[in-house]
Structure 1
């Protein structure tokens, strides 16, 4: 796909693209960084950005797989694509991903039309990275959908200094009940954190995904919309 903007990597190794969706109004708006799943900046992520733009935000979705290959775009519809996505996840450098999100954050603050307020929302891999964005204080408000491996980095939560909302799937095949319990125990008393659990599988809010759950997605997305309206506008 053709990306809308290019962002310089902080390590000087190159630049990466990002999809940008803008609201129809000419008024300045907060920016929300949409953080990809293991499928790249695909149609689902662009749809999420377009929805955020309809809600009055500038949405930016950086291509975090660019160090493998720019413009990777997969779905969950075929075994071959799923295998490729899991392979990418297995070889993904989390530290470099967070570094690229730092560069995205700096770009987001100064995008034309930006108010300087920046939020972030992530899904799956992006759900974990969204949690790390909050831990690294790279957003004014952050939402994580079914983030994987959050329970292994709970020691980072002491650094959270802005509102964070987590949507957790009770039937998540990639986040065990034990891991979910650790997340609730580790974050439940943090004054910045709101936790919500849903009777659904992983990726219940993925547009047109195999495990999409309309009722749970609608509720979670409404909570997300209200959360960003309260903390970014």
Structure 2
């Protein structure tokens, strides 16, 4: 499916948020059709080339994909951090500085926006990688989110700071009413086995509808740049996420 894209700046309580929107291209074939939406949360580096390609892949399978600048309050519009020490340090500092409540209002702004689109079907899900996996999990707390795919989600199992207690999402797991898909790398040092076990047990205890998948992969195996990239796992990951969203949102 051919795609098109545009940018939109949304007002949030913490400032203007640039979002990148990808969707099936308007053609005679798609005229009048409505599509479900996916909020795609990036890593700490914001919309890098790999994240843009991820959004394009999902949009090409029949979804409206919205990629927010997750740290819009803390950086000029259009900021993309590098996959290097400086980018990692800045992104991690931003992660600690921004509250979960600010992420919640960002999510609400995107849900409100997509409802204004005449080609939106009325169903919405969430997806994310690394930090974005944790933010997708957080978005799943919203009653509008019907399906969520989290790739190696960081910070759910551990608190960060008083301003950004990651495990507050863990304690609210019972609020998740949609279907959840959790995908992990067994060799990921950021979410060790004991951290994954904590998340798993909590999902079981809270009665969440979820599937759980662990692969022999390192952190960021979906990112198609750098030496962590695993093409086989990436393809499998996309197939799993697309399968979930096709089944639940269509």
Alignment of 1:180 with 2:180, yes or no, is: no
| Stretches of structure 1 lacking an aligned partner (at least 5 in a row) | none
Corresponding residue for residue 36 of structure 1: 42
Q: For the Cα contact (< 8 Å) 2:147–2:249, is it kept in 1? A: yes
Shift of 1:227: 0.5
1:211 counterpart (218, 228, 242): 228
Q: For the Cα contact (< 8 Å) 2:186–2:215, is it kept in 1? A: yes
Corresponding residue for residue 62 of structure 1: 68
Q: For the Cα contact (< 8 Å) 1:105–1:139, is it kept in 2? A: no
TM-score, length basis structure 1: 0.91
Q: For the Cα contact (< 8 Å) 1:42–1:73, is it kept in 2? A: yes
Corresponding residue for residue 180 of structure 2: 164
Corresponding residue for residue 139 of structure 1: 145
Corresponding residue for residue 78 of structure 2: 71
CA-to-aligned-CA distance 1:57-84 (integer Å, 9 cap, x gap) = 11111112110012221232x3222222
Q: For the Cα contact (< 8 Å) 2:55–2:65, is it kept in 1? A: yes
Q: For the Cα contact (< 8 Å) 1:30–1:57, is it kept in 2? A: yes
Q: For the Cα contact (< 8 Å) 2:224–2:231, is it kept in 1? A: no
Q: Distance in 2 between matches of 1:16 and 1:81?
A: 20
Q: For the Cα contact (< 8 Å) 2:19–2:69, is it kept in 1? A: yes
Q: For the Cα contact (< 8 Å) 2:174–2:208, is it kept in 1? A: no
Partner secondary structure for residue 22 of structure 1: strand
- When structure 1 is superposed on structure 2, of 216-225 and 181-190 the one drifting more is 181-190
Q: For the Cα contact (< 8 Å) 2:16–2:73, is it kept in 1? A: no
Corresponding residue for residue 6 of structure 1: 9
- When structure 1 is superposed on structure 2, of 180-189 and 36-45 the one drifting more is 180-189
Q: Distance in 1 between matches of 2:172 and 2:87?
A: 33
Corresponding residue for residue 45 of structure 1: 51
Partner secondary structure for residue 150 of structure 1: coil
Aligned residues between the structures? 229
Moved over 6 A (4+): none
Corresponding residue for residue 91 of structure 2: 85
Partner secondary structure for residue 211 of structure 1: coil
